[in-house]
Structure 1
Amino acid sequence: MPRMARIVLPNYPHHIVQRGHNKQVVFAVPEDFRRYISDLKELKHVFGVKVYAFCLMTNHVHLLLAPGDDTSGLGKLMKGLAGRMTRYRNKLEGRSGTLWESRYKSSVVETDTYLLACSRYIELNPVRAQMVDRAQDYPWSSYPLRQNENAEHVWIDKSPVFEGLGLTHSDRLARYSEFMGQATPASELQLIRQALQRGQLTGSPRFTNEIENITGIRVSQRPRGRPEK
């Protein structure tokens, strides 16, 4: 059965996960993490892609990215990130071959309702994995970077939803920190995970209908298995 074509829309956020090949370790030492973040910071400008959130785990990455009017920038960014990291690790280890799974997972996110939810999901990954007690204690995500009181020194992009949290940067940080501290509903976790796993949309039924009308592609959630007779 052919897999569903990836949906990429201009100026919409996309939740992306890319995993190491056969779940192998991608980031072994701090320099590995720093190199990937440096490349992300550089290439987002090259390809005109906004970075709303990120988290680098040992064997996979979570990204919340929004391409501009040219949607090809998203794929070029992911190819550039993967290629640079592969060449770096292969040279370091004196090996050849792939470092990543061949196809990253992607889900278009409903901006108004789920963008902050996806940011929280991404930045709480180390906490759910019991690597740290607090999101701000994990150095390889956007959360500690976001906490900088000087907005000019924060290179991650601020979404309209984040900007709407308050009149000042400090107010926005306080509101977002409060949001991060709230318990995440189980239904929200399930929707985000299933949408990403199935390559579908992270959003409401109304949002799904709107995107289906725009793209002409059916992306509605369907039950797994064969239909009942």
Structure 2
Amino acid sequence: MAHSNRLRRGRVSEMGRCYLITSTTHKRRKIFSFWLYGRCVVCGMMAVNATTLSYVVMPDHIHWLVQLDGGESLSSCVQKMKSVATKKLRQLGVAGEVWQAGFHDRAVRRDEDVIAIARYIVANPLRADLVDSVRDYGLWDAIWIDQHL
């Protein structure tokens, strides 16, 4: 797994392309069960030079729909997000490894419905039986979905 932070062989990081990122915590520790720790990840996502379209921070992993538009590669964006989140977690006293090495990425095809993908992402807490309504889960967002519905 020496190159697990790199894009899969043959994959090119394309500006303007949307990617669905999944990244897990080290040994699936439920670090983000505490809301404030999950917000550290959100701060990391907002620190990258790309457009966050949708995300959910689950107790032990994240799903992040991001569009590359700022000149950074996908690997650079994910690395920066993890770095910023980890630094903020350290400031709050979280010790030990935070992230599993690498991440899973899937390029969204141009003909796919990104709004449907965003809805699928934010419904993760429902499917995991963490809440009865996404309104009750504070660690998600999508630029098309009003959280106050």
TM-score range, shorter chain: 0.7 to 0.9
Q: Which residue of 2 aligns with 1:61?
A: 62
* Per-residue deviation, residues 75-125 of structure 1 (Å, max 9, x unmatched): 2221122112223434504x44x3111111000002332322211210110
Aligned partner of 1:134 in structure 2 is 133
Q: How many residue pairs align between the two structures?
A: 142
- CA–CA distance in structure 1, aligned partners of residues 62 and 79 of structure 2: 14
1:125 & 1:7 partners in 2: Cα distance? 28
Q: CA deviation at 1:13?
A: 0.6
- In structure 2, what residue type is equivalent to 1:81? M
SS in 1 for 2:63: strand
Q: CA RMSD in A?
A: 2.7
**SS, match of residue 118 in structure 1:** helix
| Equivalent-residue separation in structure 1 for 2:60 and 2:77 (angstroms) | 19
The TM-score with structure 1 as length reference comes to 0.54
Amino acid paired to 1:36: V
Unaligned runs of 5+ in 1: 150-176, 178-229
Change (3 A) 1:145 1:133: farther
Structure 1 residue runs of 4 or more that deviate by more than 6 Å after TM superposition: none
1:36 aligns with 2:41: yes
Q: How far apart are residue 64 of structure 1 and its match?
A: 0.2
More relative contact order in 1 or in 2 (CA 8 Å, sep 6+)?
Answer: 2
Task: Deviation per CA, 1:140-174: give whole Å up to 9, x if none.
Answer: 1015983168xxxxxxxxxxxxxxxxxxxxxxxxx
Distance 1:145 1:132 in 2: 21
Residue 104, structure 1, aligned to residue 96, structure 2: no
Q: 1:39, 1:103 → 2: CA distance?
A: 16
Cα distance, 1:68 vs. partner? 1.5
Structure 2 unaligned segments of length 5 or more: list them. Answer: none
Instruction: Give the number of the structure whose alpha-carbon radius of gyration is greater.
Output: 1
Q: Could you say which structure has the higher strand fraction?
A: 2
Q: Which residue of 2 aligns with 1:78?
A: 78
Of 32, 45, 56, the match for 1:27: 32
What is the correspondence of 1:1-229 to structure 2 with a 5 Å cutoff? Answer: 4-5=8-9, 6-41=11-46, 43-44=47-48, 47=49, 49-68=50-69, 70-72=71-73, 74-90=74-90, 92-93=93-94, 95-96=95-96, 98-143=97-142, 146-147=145-146
Q: Higher helix share goes to which structure?
A: 1
Report how far residue 24 of structure 1 moved: 1.2
Q: Between the two proteins, what is the percent identity of the paired residues? A: 19
If the length of structure 2 is used for normalisation, what is the TM-score? 0.79
